[in-house]
Structure 1
Amino acid sequence: MKNEVKIGLTVLLAIIVAIVGFRFMRDVPVFRQTLEISAVFDRVDGINRGSLVNLKGVKVGSVSRVRLTPENRVRVTMQLNEDLQIPEDSEAHLTSLGIVEGKSIVIQLGDSESNVKYGGEVDGVYIEGVTEVLGSKGEQLAGDVSESLSELNQFLRQLNATLDDETRTSVDQTLRNADETMKILSETLENNQKDIDNAIKSASRTMMQLDTLTTDNRPRVDSLLVSLEENVSELHKVRTELEQATANLNQILDKVNRGEGTMGKLVNDPSLYENLDQLTKEMNDLMKGINEDPGRYLKHMSIIEVF
């Protein structure tokens, strides 16, 4: 083999190795084609060439280029597996997979029937991670914590000023009394544990006896309930009759008050009472006169006319 051929083969092999290495370093499949799509973000903190592109937790490609657009936005070009079907309304979310793993792009599939073609574009959405949220809110949180600590210190100072020596002594005495009371109560319960158990057993036996008594006398109880229902029904009838009699009596009294009928006239016409009273007086006088001098009233009558 001539030297020229050896040199040519060496150069060709070097070119092949360079191409393979270049594609390998860019995390691009060496022996198969890829699907190239892009997404535009307002910011791409943590994303560089070679960052992962995931779909449902599975690596499906990597970032090949990161460029600024004339509108001062960032276009990220991704190399994905050629066999992927990405709907046109899909979104590329730039998010953090974890505190250690760093940033990556997650493809959120849409519902469109049309798929993104080679060189197409999907919407980019930047999602702040936990560390970024904490960083942006750190100053506010620090101020809130400082204010809370200041209020807590002020409260403790006021509490310390309020609790003088006498108050502390009283509180300590109260706590000691409560502790002694709890000890006495515990000892009492412990000493009377048997009595308490016996009382519980007696109550249980009593409940069982009551249940047995209720079961054995259920027919009598049912009969008593039936009798009570009948008596209640009779009382209801009596109440109805009493209400009717009361209504009739009210009608009669109403007529008497209006002066209707004999009783009404006797009650409401005072002249009848006066005439009766006068007649009674005259009858008394007549009877008194007959008893005192009967001849006065019989002198004009003969015995034959009388009998």
Structure 2
Amino acid sequence: MKRETKVGLTIVFLVSLLVFGYLWVKEYRIRVRKHEYYISFPEVGWVKKGDLVTILGVPKGRVEKVVLYPDSVVVKVSLDEIYLTEGSHAYIESQGLIGQMRISIILGKGDTLKEGSLIRGVKRKDLGELISSVGDLVDSLLTVVDRVNSLSITVENFTNSLNNNLVVFRRELTDFKDFLKDLLA
């Protein structure tokens, strides 16, 4: 075989390997039927094209497009070999501490939805929002503790005052008893 033929075959092989590797990395699948749906969210945080879409925790697709509207955000998702059903809903969740997001879908119990249907989505609190909420909760608890301490001091002062009045009342009662004895004697 001539040297030019060997070089040509090597280049064809390497280009084919490069194309195959690219398709493999991009998770391109031959004969996999994709179904597109739209999910409306009030806000999506850091969701972007290419983010993972799971159904009941199983990876089943990717985010294809994120479109902003005045009162909502609509996310176009492409799902592998699965149809959504009526009553399905989605939520956004964080995949980790670095801000990677994913859309999780929970299937409804109704009939199969047509491709291109719109489903409702909600955004769950992520770790940062939960930590912020814990801070607010701690502040509220500190306020409650301060009020309980104040109430405890008030009750203690009332109890001391009542005890002092009881001592005075007993002394007055003893004096009255002595007065009645003297009066009857």
Seq. identity, %: 12
Residue of structure 2 equivalent to 1:116: 114
The correspondence for 2:20, drawn from 11, 16, 20, is 16
After TM superposition, give the deviation of residue 74 of structure 1 in Å.
2.7
Residue of structure 1 equivalent to 2:10: 6
Greater strand proportion: 2
- 5+ residue gaps, structure 1, are 24-28, 171-307
Greater helix proportion: 1
- TM-score norm. by structure 2 comes to 0.60
Q: Residues 52 and 61 of structure 1 are in contact (CA less than 8 Å); yes or no, is this contact kept in structure 2? A: yes
Aligned to 2:26, the other structure's residue is in SS state helix
Residue of structure 1 equivalent to 2:51: 50
The 5 A counterparts of 1:187-206 are: none
The correspondence for 1:148, drawn from 138, 144, 149, is 144
Aligned to 1:159, the other structure's residue is in SS state helix
Query: Structure 2 counterpart of 1:39, which letter?
Result: I
Q: Residues 54 and 102 of structure 2 are in contact (CA less than 8 Å); yes or no, is this contact kept in structure 1? A: no
Name the CA shift for 1:72/1:86 in 2 (closer, same or farther; >3 Å): same
Name the CA shift for 1:13/1:99 in 2 (closer, same or farther; >3 Å): closer
The 5 A counterparts of 1:1-307 are: 1=1, 2=5, 3-23=7-27, 30-37=29-36, 38-45=38-45, 47-48=47-48, 49-54=50-55, 57-59=56-58, 61-71=60-70, 73-82=72-81, 84-87=82-85, 89-96=86-93, 104-112=103-111, 115-117=113-115, 120-129=116-125, 132=129, 135=132, 139=136, 141=137, 144-164=140-160, 167=163
62-71 or 90-99: bigger deviation: 90-99
Q: Higher relative contact order at CA 8 Å, sep ≥6: structure 1 or structure 2?
A: 2
Deviations 1:20-51 (A, max 9, x none): 2122xxxxx53441423232322123645332
Deviations 1:218-260 (A, max 9, x none): xxxxxxxxxxxxxxxxxxxxxxxxxxxxxxxxxxxxxxxxxxx
Name the CA shift for 1:163/1:11 in 2 (closer, same or farther; >3 Å): same
RMSD: 4.0
Query: Structure 2 counterpart of 1:79, which letter?
Result: S
Name the CA shift for 1:167/1:103 in 2 (closer, same or farther; >3 Å): farther
- TM-score norm. by structure 1 comes to 0.40
Query: Which whole-Å CA distance do the structure 2 matches of 1:127 and 1:22 have between them?
Result: 27
Query: Structure 2 counterpart of 1:42, which letter?
Result: P
Query: Which whole-Å CA distance do the structure 1 matches of 2:15 and 2:71 have between them?
Result: 42
After TM superposition, give the deviation of residue 126 of structure 1 in Å.
0.7
Query: Which whole-Å CA distance do the structure 2 matches of 1:68 and 1:165 have between them?
Result: 69
- 5+ residue gaps, structure 2, are 167-185
Q: Residues 91 and 122 of structure 1 are in contact (CA less than 8 Å); yes or no, is this contact kept in structure 2? A: no
Residue of structure 2 equivalent to 1:216: none
Give 1 or 2 for the bigger CA radius of gyration.
Answer: 1
Q: Residues 92 and 107 of structure 1 are in contact (CA less than 8 Å); yes or no, is this contact kept in structure 2? A: yes
Query: Which whole-Å CA distance do the structure 2 matches of 1:162 and 1:69 have between them?
Result: 62
Aligned residues: 156
